Amino acid sequence: MKDRLRRSRLFLPGNNPKILQDGGVFEADSVILDLEDAVSIDSKDEARILVKWALRDVDFRNSEVLIRVNSPETEFFEADMGVISDRVDGIVLPKAESKEDVKNVASVLDEIETEKGIGREIIIIPTIESALGVLNAYDIARLPRVAALAFGAEDFTKDIGAERTPEGTELWYARSAIVTAAKAAGVQALDTVYPSVHDDEGLRRETETARRMGFDGKSAIHPNQIGIIHDVFTPSREEIKKALAVMQAIKEAEEKKSGVIALNGRMIDRPVVERAKKVIRLAEAAGIDTEHLPEE
């Protein structure tokens, strides 16, 4: 499903059985079985086989199952794509720089879907992690199969010759550009990982920034980061109340068969409606019963 919630995407190193076996336990919106950076060159083959068996046997529960393959330019790409089965929801494509990069992967997916009889569309989440990728982000985001653009800050910083700082000022333009491109193309924008596993406060701050910038989710390199990320993406009570009021106004307009939706005497346009729907979805994902909001 292209527009499912992706507040959190948890990376699971592809050659680590201890983490893979619990992949479904941490309630990440998506899990990424990683064949790329988390796997050393010598272990690419056994990681691929381990991921293949994990896809057969491990229950990833409600998490969307994504595979991060090695770049199409590497010798590993073709074999990596071989692990795709009907248990896979999507591909995370590293270092996406042009629409050709994504189109090539899409045509491989066309073949695999036919060959393996997979009756649904496997999505692609291109990772933008270079200057060129940022500039081409909109063209990439518009392609079929693309469900979201992800940002990869580590490689991007290296590519532009910037220094990685805790405040992330050097990433400001790329983040904004990716959110803008993604939203213009009608797909999600997903922020980079927060690399300091033990710095909960730093993770919270960075996730809050990402959310305020318009990102729909953040990637996690450790399961303990999931709770904080979800917490940040949980709407406040005020936001939920406002969204509920909008939904009520829609309902009333429908009942009156009125084409115009109004709330407190002001007209509501489509983006506001969409936003309200999303707030309700996020609240429900966080386990909040929006029909019975508790009193303060």
Partner 1 sequence: MPVNAVGREIPREIDGRKLIPFGGAYARGPEGKLHAPKIPPLIKPGESKVLPSLDDAIEKAGIADGMTLSFHHHFRDGDMLVNMVLERLAKKGIKDLKMAHIALFPVHEPLVKYIADGTITSTEGSLNGPTGRAISMGKMKGLATLRSHGGRVRAVKAGEIEIDVNFIAAPTADTYGNCNGFWGKSPCGPLSYAMIDAEHADKVIAVTDNLVPYPALPFSIPQTHVDYVTTVEKIGIPEKIVSGTTQITRSPARLKIARLAIQLIKDAGYIKDGMSFQAGAGGVSLAATKFLGDMMRKEGVKGSFAMGGTTRYVTDLLKEGLIKTIFDAQLFDLYALESLRNNPDHVEVSSEMYADIHTKGAIVNRVDVSFLGATEIDIDFNVNVNTHSDGWLLHGTGGHQDVAAGSDFTMILAPSFRGRIPVITDRVTTVTTPGESIDAIVTERGIAINPRREDILDRLHGSPLPIMPIESLLKKVQKITGAPEKPEFEDRIVAVIEYRDGTVIDVLRQKKMR
Partner 2 sequence: MKIIRDATAGSGEKSDCTVTVRPSEQLKIDITGSSAAFFRETMIDEVKSVLEELGVTAGIIKVTDRGALPFCMKARVEAALRRGAEE
In the complex, the smallest distance separating the C-beta of residue 56 from partner 1, rounded to whole angstroms, is 13
Applying the rule CB under 8 A, the residues between 15 and 34 that interact with partner 2 are 16-18, 20-21
Strands 262-263 and 188-193: unpaired
Binding mask 39-58 for partner 2 (x = CB under 8 A): ------xx--xx-xxx-xxx
In the complex, the smallest distance separating the C-beta of residue 7 from partner 2, rounded to whole angstroms, is 28
Q: Looking at 22, 86, 111, 254, which residue binds partner 1 (CB under 8 A)? A: 22
In the complex, the smallest distance separating the C-beta of residue 109 from partner 2, rounded to whole angstroms, is 24
227 binds partner 1 (CB under 8 A): yes
25 binds partner 1 (CB under 8 A): yes
287 binds partner 1 (CB under 8 A): yes
26 binds partner 1 (CB under 8 A): yes
In the complex, the smallest distance separating the C-beta of residue 21 from partner 1, rounded to whole angstroms, is 8
Q: Which does 222 bind (CB under 5 to 8 A by kind): partner 1, partner 2, none?
A: partner 1
Binding mask 40-79 for partner 1 (x = CB under 8 A): -------------------x--------------------
Q: Which does 25 bind (CB under 5 to 8 A by kind): partner 2, partner 1, none?
A: partner 1
Q: Which does 176 bind (CB under 5 to 8 A by kind): partner 1, partner 2, none?
A: none
Q: Which does 224 bind (CB under 5 to 8 A by kind): partner 2, partner 1, none?
A: partner 1
Q: Which residues, 6+ apart, have CB-to-CB distance to 150 below 8 Å?
A: 9, 92, 125, 126, 127, 128, 190, 191, 192, 219
The first and second tokens of residue 92, run together, are 């995370």
For partner 1, the closer of residues 259 and 287 by Cβ is 287
Q: Which residues, 6+ apart, have CB-to-CB distance to 189 below 8 Å?
A: 148, 149, 151, 178, 179, 182, 183, 214, 215, 216
Say if CB 237 and CB 264 are below 8 A apart: no
In the complex, the smallest distance separating the C-beta of residue 122 from partner 2, rounded to whole angstroms, is 22
Q: Looking at 16, 21, 74, 98, which residue binds partner 1 (CB under 8 A)? A: 21
How distant, in Å, are the alpha carbons of 180, 290, 294 from that of 271? 15, 21, 28
Q: Looking at 223, 229, 261, 276, which residue binds partner 1 (CB under 8 A)? A: 223
Residues that bind partner 2 (CB under 8 A): 16-18, 20-21, 45-46, 49-50, 52-54, 56-58
Residues that bind partner 1 (CB under 8 A): 21-22, 25-26, 59, 222-224, 227, 287, 289
